[in-house]
Amino acid sequence: MPRPYATIKDWPEEDRPREKLLDRGAGSLSDTELLAILLRTGNASTGESAVDHARRLLKEFKGLKGIDTAAIHELRTFKGIGPAKIAQLKAGLEIGRRLARTRWEAGSPLRSSEDVYRHFREH
């Protein structure tokens, strides 16, 4: 029998992914927390919070890259992931991909080695 459904609303405010993002910025969140925000809800049938659900999804698909490259039919086999959550995940990952492809404007700061790589890769 599943444990009682643990919603994130029952957690201390400083531990909730959405509040943490708003207070400390998106960069302070783990992949699990970011994914939980995209998923919005857990899985009531298994008693998982959105964070538990995100953690299990990342483990099953071996990280964000695995989720990104997974076909829709593969994601459908994951318990608790339906068409709405699949669409949310795929849309969020596509936004990230498009943003990564945008060209740097003159004067844009290069804050990391990754920024430098992306900037010069395009030229």
DSSP state of 27: G
> What are the Cα distances from residue 1, in Å, to 5, 44, 53, 56?
11, 12, 17, 18
Number of helices (H) and strands (E) in the chain: give both, helices first: 7, 0
65-81: average pLDDT: 94
DSSP state of 48: B
Confidence class of residue 123 from pLDDT cuts 50, 70 and 90? low
Q: What is the pLDDT of residues 42-59, one digit of tens each?
A: 888 888 899 999 999 999
- Contact at 8 Å (CB) between 72 and 90? yes
Q: What is the pLDDT of residues 8-44, one digit of tens each?
A: 877 777 788 989 989 999 999 999 999 999 999 888 8
> What is the overall mean pLDDT for the chain?
85
Higher pLDDT, 26 or 104: 26
The reported pLDDT for the residue numbered 93 is: 94
Phi, psi at residue 11, to the nearest 5°?
-80, 160
